[in-house]
Structure 1
Amino acid sequence: MKPIIKSAASQTALPLRFPAHPVAGLAGTSFKHEHLQDILAEANQGSFFEVHAENYMGAGGSPHHALERVRRDHPVSLHGVCMSIGGPQPLDKAHLQRFRALVERYEPALVSEHLAWSTHETTFFNDLLPLPYTQATLARVSDHIDEVQAAIGRPILLENPSTYVAFRQSTMSETDFIRAVARRTGCGLLLDVNNVFVSATNHGFSALDYLSDFPLAEVGEIHLAGHADATDDEGERLLIDSHDGPVGDAVWKLFEIVIGRLGPVPTLIEWDSAIPAWPVLRAEALAAREIMDRYVNAILPEARNAAA
């Protein structure tokens, strides 16, 4: 007899279609179809794979066939990019239902979305756009997260953004805003360390200060990625969250600081364009795992105090 899980949103019993592989302490990579045969050829690699939800919202075909093969042997992280959590208009109901169907179909170990907006009326933009951090935005983001979590029957992880502009009307810091969202909604957080470095460089603040104020106790997943070093129209340095190369040295250093506090939180290498051969991408994940293994026994001071 197959084990049964229940969707809190529907209270309907569902058959467990895939093994419940643990994700704790693993280092993973974005799943790219050109790597499928290499992935299947490796046994017991101790990894997980992340997919963008919007690439799997069709009913079937080769994308689902490939993902099903990967999911049988590995945990999967489902990462949404078009929910427009921070958008001024209501969430797209059809999109949310397709997202829910994916959660029920693949039983991902982790589910996440972005602190951003990306839609206008019926148009989906190819960018994750920033938000002003105000009480009105806080209420809207929290309501949207509540709606998503009610639909899928589980908490999501909310990812901190990479930004290139800041809003004068913001009345709180990004870290205070993220902390308030987590408290209101019960969601967890996805800490993208590359995004922290990109935003800190672009806006001239300290990445270390940002991380010191970030609610690390709520972090359920970490992202690492490469960035492009460019200049803006005025000749000033501008970093772009490009996901098209290896993780930078400064980002690795920040990652080790975070892992030193948190211990081995599931960590994913994002590499979404200029896709390298599988051994190159796999080596990035192994580098992350090596750092994680140094801090197996590290826990947050808050956790130590709670256990005392």
Structure 2
Amino acid sequence: MNDFIRSMARPTPGRPARAALVGTSFKHEHLGAIIEEGLPDGFFEVHAENYMGAGGPPHRALAAIRERHPVSLHGVCMSIGGPDALDLTHLARFRDLVARYEPAFVSEHLAWSSHGGTFFNDLLPLPYHRETLDRVCAHIDQMQSAIGRPILLENPSTYVMFASSTLSETDFLRAVAQKTGCGLLLDVNNVFVSAINHGYSAHEYLSAFPLEYVGEIHLAGHSEQLDDEHQPLLIDSHDSPVADVVWDLYAQVISRIGAVPTLIEWDSDLPAWPVLRAQAEAARQIMTQRIPTYNEGLCHEA
């Protein structure tokens, strides 16, 4: 973890709680409002692939945000879980972005999105077994070596499961963190989406999740559909407010691990800035309310 993340460490009994850091996706439509109104104790996330050009309006906007707030660099095309070697050109561009903006958080997905030199516009799932574990760890080691710092690896939202898996997703993530030294980005909406789609308990998944490695949390909205058998199918769409059930899951996580930097993802059907900011402040309120519960738990453990 870098110094900024250490500065936002979870509270401990007997010490005052630090500010609950919250953030949102950064969209250029909101630039004026963000500069005018700000987001106290806030940060903004951008997708790295949108800023891999040398300059122009995207970089001017991001530079304006970076002057005022920490940023989170979130990769969507590294293909950490892919069967091919990492794309060295893409990795170099990612490295240069990290050096240029010195983000507070750097993250990628437990997924694959390329094969045979072709990039797909999807974050595709992978089976959880020894072969994929070794490949994912090797790719993370390569990425962390290139950028000179640990990354956070995000749990996916999935729509299929592999019969060949020999590890649970939570055990797979724990093993990756232990072997590579990376942290984890816990996307609570992804947990709920996958749980509904595959018919398991989101609460049981979170009970098994290696929360000790979590350095950031994502929250987002999802959409509801029906599959070909007319069963519920949730899509991680990032186009609506966070659902009440996801807020409840989030509150339970915060009660267990204390305040963790939390970001609201909203990527399409964008609302006005005050709506998005209110979602971030709702996360801050939950953290503020739940920190005493977390501290009380630590005191009982002691």
Deviation at 1:120, TM superposition (A): 1.5
Structure 2 equivalent of residue 285 of structure 1: 280
1:140 is matched with which residue: 135, 152, 166? 135
2:111 is matched with which residue: 116, 119, 125? 116
Shift of the 302–289 alpha-carbon distance from structure 1 to 2, 3 Å rule, reads closer
CA distance in 1, matches of 2:96, 2:200: 40
Structure 1 equivalent of residue 93 of structure 2: 98
Shift of the 37–186 alpha-carbon distance from structure 1 to 2, 3 Å rule, reads same
Deviation at 1:43, TM superposition (A): 4.5
CA distance in 2, matches of 1:234, 1:202: 12
CA distance in 1, matches of 2:300, 2:76: 35
More helix, by proportion:
2
Question: RMSD across aligned C-alpha pairs, in angstroms?
Answer: 2.1
1:200 is matched with which residue: 195, 201, 217? 195
1:236 is matched with which residue: 231, 234, 250? 231
Structure 1 equivalent of residue 206 of structure 2: 211
Q: Secondary structure at the match of 2:291?
A: coil
CA distance in 2, matches of 1:258, 1:76: 23
CA distance in 2, matches of 1:185, 1:277: 40
Q: Secondary structure at the match of 1:128?
A: strand
Instruction: Assess if the C-alpha contact under 8 Å between 2:223 and 2:234 holds in 1.
Output: yes
- Counterpart check, 1:34 vs 2:34: no
Shift of the 153–98 alpha-carbon distance from structure 1 to 2, 3 Å rule, reads same
Q: Secondary structure at the match of 1:296?
A: helix
Deviation at 1:262, TM superposition (A): 1.1
Structure 2 equivalent of residue 51 of structure 1: 46
CA distance in 2, matches of 1:303, 1:86: 40
Deviation at 1:234, TM superposition (A): 1.5
User: How many residues of Structure 1 are paired with residues of Structure 2 in the alignment?
Assistant: 289
Instruction: Assess if the C-alpha contact under 8 Å between 1:23 and 1:48 holds in 2.
Output: no
Structure 1 equivalent of residue 15 of structure 2: none
**2:124 alignment partner AA:** L
Instruction: Assess if the C-alpha contact under 8 Å between 1:22 and 1:75 holds in 2.
Output: no
Q: Secondary structure at the match of 2:108?
A: strand
- Counterpart check, 1:225 vs 2:233: no
Shift of the 130–191 alpha-carbon distance from structure 1 to 2, 3 Å rule, reads same
Structure 2 equivalent of residue 16 of structure 1: none
Taking structure 1 as the reference length, the TM-score comes to: 0.90
State the Cα deviation string for residues 163-214 of structure 1 (Å, max 9, x = none): 0000000001000000000010010000000000000000000000000000
Deviation at 1:273, TM superposition (A): 0.6
Overall identity of the aligned pairs, in %: 68
CA distance in 2, matches of 1:147, 1:254: 33
- Counterpart check, 1:77 vs 2:72: yes
Shift of the 203–303 alpha-carbon distance from structure 1 to 2, 3 Å rule, reads farther
**2:281 alignment partner AA:** L
CA distance in 2, matches of 1:231, 1:175: 27
